[in-house]
Chains A and B, each alone.
Chain A
């Protein structure tokens, strides 16, 4: 793998930070354009009201809480392997949440009224809960990082880690509940979505962590101890399988309900989303990574494991695209037993094509997360420092 020399390294860092900053700025400019012209310049409409920005934002928000699990396993569950990775996990959590929230807020029809969202609170709204959940998440992670990085505060890091862990479970429950509390559309309105989002966050967060960790080790010309990668890979495989299991149960139960069969047929068999589901989510995002993680020829090789993690991230985007866009493209069933049509496209399957402004806004959010991570990692020395002897001893005990 490519490892830059010290002088090169400095230049490369500035280049990466500049690219990240530039893409973030372009995303912001796209948002201002949307604000000025209205959402008429996007591919979103009155049927598909949430588009690509929401797909990317929800990925970042869900993975942000999941990536924090690496820290939780160190602090809360006492796993030595993860303990040295806790600060990096906290930084990634904050960076990804910032990117995701930036997208959601800048996509608002009235982004200028964000202060209204903070001063007017509707307790029955899951979105309203999230307005509280996110800032508190920042606060918890901030305090948690402080207890880990400030030696005098170290004794409190377990308590802070536990509080953060509990809060992140609540936060992802809140994200899943955004959809779980929707009665109108066939794709949503299932209590299963809250725990499913938590499992998804575990899987996607760990995949992101593995990819970032691999990049950092390569950057510094270091080799990740195989023992560590082995552990992380086993956990990732378990989580990927768990997400696949939840997906199967969700669709099986839904397909059994007579009122849902038309929608399930649409998603799984007869729509532009069927290919994305089977090839993108199931094959690329689940089966292929599982094969790479378990096959004797690939399971012990760093590059294959990193590829598996990257595929999990790709699959996550397909999954959210099918879930969010596919769920809205299917027409609302207002009159069961009737064919329905109208000037407002009732009864018609909608097609969504993201347009440049919303693509740039979504990329801008990813760039915010990337830039914050790049600068944070360099400024605060977040590279995990492992004591291999201690690690091996700890693993012997837990095994």
Chain B
């Protein structure tokens, strides 16, 4: 299996040949006031991907979440995600509603000084480098994009829910009822499994995931884990961070600080 870190040489050569000028043009076109200088700063916006252009295998998108900054009672990231992706919670049995992102409250029960300490954090698809959901999917509908984003192809998902059995993060939801008023950029479907897409449609437009943008505390950092100069990679290199269920060695793309 090709690891997400493995560079696609042909693709790299093409990008190099395209030249910095073109890249710069593309970059400045994202949003006024955003320059190449911004790369390396917190939450740099990604380079937009043109239609028909494959995802860049040299990149691995990830999130760093600072649990210390995650405010109790705040659900802005959840609201933003569910608005952006058209996820609603209206079924009589709440356990059947989709939740692409949720707030988890942890109370430390380990002996020691931190016992009783309460931590909040958002939990979503961890975009593993070795995703069990992708391994178990019979049709290959669960897949990892070249830039590390784990997605479900809604055209080939048969709704067997084996991926939900395999995911250690309870990150996936099954669409239990017919859907209305969908966001055209985020197709969903009854009978299919879904989960956080890292707002892939926004990333491809050069924007950040909706949850990251909405966090008033700046608790979430988005960026390229493979780029040593990115804010996320620098932060991960400088402070202790946690991978949830690190014992499984799935190498998640979402990391936590302050746990």
Q: Which residue of B lies closest to A38 (CB)?
A: B177
Asked if A295 lies at the interface with its beta carbon under 8 angstroms from chain B, I say no
**Residues of B within 8 Å of A, CB-based: how many?**
59
Q: Are A335 and B91 in contact (CB under 8 A)?
A: no
Interface centre among B98, B105, B138, B170 (most CB of A within 10 A): B138
Expressed in whole angstroms, the minimum distance between the Cβ of B84 and any Cβ of chain A is 18
Q: Which residue of B lies closest to A129 (CB)?
A: B138
What are the interface flags for A272-310 relative to B under an 8 Å C-beta threshold, 1 for contact and 0 otherwise? 000000000000000000000000000000000000000
Asked if B113 lies at the interface with its beta carbon under 8 angstroms from chain A, I say no
Please indicate the chain B residues that have their CB under 8 angstroms from the CB of A146 in the complex.
none
Please indicate the chain A residues that have their CB under 8 angstroms from the CB of B39 in the complex.
none
Please indicate the chain B residues that have their CB under 8 angstroms from the CB of A127 in the complex.
136-138, 160, 162
Asked if A122 lies at the interface with its beta carbon under 8 angstroms from chain B, I say yes
A126 to B137, CA, bound (A): 8
Please indicate the chain A residues that have their CB under 8 angstroms from the CB of B123 in the complex.
334, 342, 346
A128 to B140, CA, bound (A): 9
Please indicate the chain A residues that have their CB under 8 angstroms from the CB of B157 in the complex.
109-110, 113
Asked if A341 lies at the interface with its beta carbon under 8 angstroms from chain B, I say yes
Asked if A256 lies at the interface with its beta carbon under 8 angstroms from chain B, I say no
Interface residues of B in 158-180 (CB under 8 A from A): 158-162, 164-170, 172-178
Asked if A8 lies at the interface with its beta carbon under 8 angstroms from chain B, I say no
Asked if A383 lies at the interface with its beta carbon under 8 angstroms from chain B, I say no
A337 to B110, CA, bound (A): 5
Asked if A49 lies at the interface with its beta carbon under 8 angstroms from chain B, I say yes
Secondary structure class of chain B's binding surface, majority of residues: loop
Asked if A387 lies at the interface with its beta carbon under 8 angstroms from chain B, I say no
Please indicate the chain B residues that have their CB under 8 angstroms from the CB of A130 in the complex.
138
Q: A184-B132, A334-B169 are in contact. Are A38 and B95 (CB under 8 A)?
A: no
Interface centre among B95, B103, B164, B189 (most CB of A within 10 A): B95
Asked if A257 lies at the interface with its beta carbon under 8 angstroms from chain B, I say no
Q: Are A343 and B138 in contact (CB under 8 A)?
A: no
Partner of B176, one of A40, A334, A335, A343: A40
Q: A39-B174, A39-B176, A341-B104 are in contact. Are A49 and B161 (CB under 8 A)?
A: yes
Partner of A182, one of B108, B137, B166, B244: B166
Asked if A345 lies at the interface with its beta carbon under 8 angstroms from chain B, I say yes
Please indicate the chain B residues that have their CB under 8 angstroms from the CB of A49 in the complex.
161, 164-165, 174
Expressed in whole angstroms, the minimum distance between the Cβ of A391 and any Cβ of chain B is 45
A342 to B124, CA, bound (A): 12
Q: Are A343 and B103 in contact (CB under 8 A)?
A: yes
Q: Are B104 and A38 in contact (CB under 8 A)?
A: no
Q: Are B96 and A45 in contact (CB under 8 A)?
A: yes
Asked if B28 lies at the interface with its beta carbon under 8 angstroms from chain A, I say no
Expressed in whole angstroms, the minimum distance between the Cβ of B75 and any Cβ of chain A is 9
Q: Are B156 and A334 in contact (CB under 8 A)?
A: no
Interface residues of A in 240-287 (CB under 8 A from B): none
Expressed in whole angstroms, the minimum distance between the Cβ of B43 and any Cβ of chain A is 25
Asked if B107 lies at the interface with its beta carbon under 8 angstroms from chain A, I say yes
A47 to B192, CA, bound (A): 15
Q: Are A338 and B107 in contact (CB under 8 A)?
A: yes
A337 to B116, CA, bound (A): 11
Q: A39-B176, A40-B176, A125-B138 are in contact. Are A116 and B102 (CB under 8 A)?
A: no
Asked if A381 lies at the interface with its beta carbon under 8 angstroms from chain B, I say no
Q: Are B174 and A46 in contact (CB under 8 A)?
A: yes
Q: Are A339 and B104 in contact (CB under 8 A)?
A: no
A327 to B94, CA, bound (A): 21
Partner of B156, one of A120, A178, A185: A120
Please indicate the chain B residues that have their CB under 8 angstroms from the CB of A178 in the complex.
162
Interface residues of B in 27-84 (CB under 8 A from A): none
Please indicate the chain B residues that have their CB under 8 angstroms from the CB of A46 in the complex.
95-99, 164, 170, 172-174
Q: Are B135 and A109 in contact (CB under 8 A)?
A: no
A346 to B99, CA, bound (A): 12
Interface residues of B in 122-172 (CB under 8 A from A): 123, 132, 134-141, 156-162, 164-170, 172
A124 to B244, CA, bound (A): 24
Please indicate the chain B residues that have their CB under 8 angstroms from the CB of A122 in the complex.
137-140
Asked if B181 lies at the interface with its beta carbon under 8 angstroms from chain A, I say no
Q: Are B108 and A344 in contact (CB under 8 A)?
A: no
A103 to B167, CA, bound (A): 24
Partner of B158, one of A47, A108, A341: A108
Q: A127-B136, A335-B244, A342-B102 are in contact. Are A184 and B109 (CB under 8 A)?
A: no
Q: A131-B138, A345-B95 are in contact. Are A332 and B170 (CB under 8 A)?
A: yes
Q: Are B192 and A109 in contact (CB under 8 A)?
A: yes
A124 to B78, CA, bound (A): 33
Expressed in whole angstroms, the minimum distance between the Cβ of B169 and any Cβ of chain A is 6
Please indicate the chain A residues that have their CB under 8 angstroms from the CB of B169 in the complex.
332, 334
Which residues of A are in contact with B by a Cβ distance under 8 Å? 35, 37-40, 45-47, 49-50, 108-111, 113-114, 116-117, 120-122, 124-128, 130-131, 178, 181-185, 188, 328, 332, 334-335, 337-346, 350
| 8 A–B contacts from the bound complex (CB under 8 Å) | A46-B95, A46-B96, A110-B158, A113-B157, A122-B140, A127-B162, A342-B105, A344-B102
Would you list the 4 A-B pairs with minimal beta carbon distance, nearest first? A109-B159, A109-B191, A45-B95, A127-B138
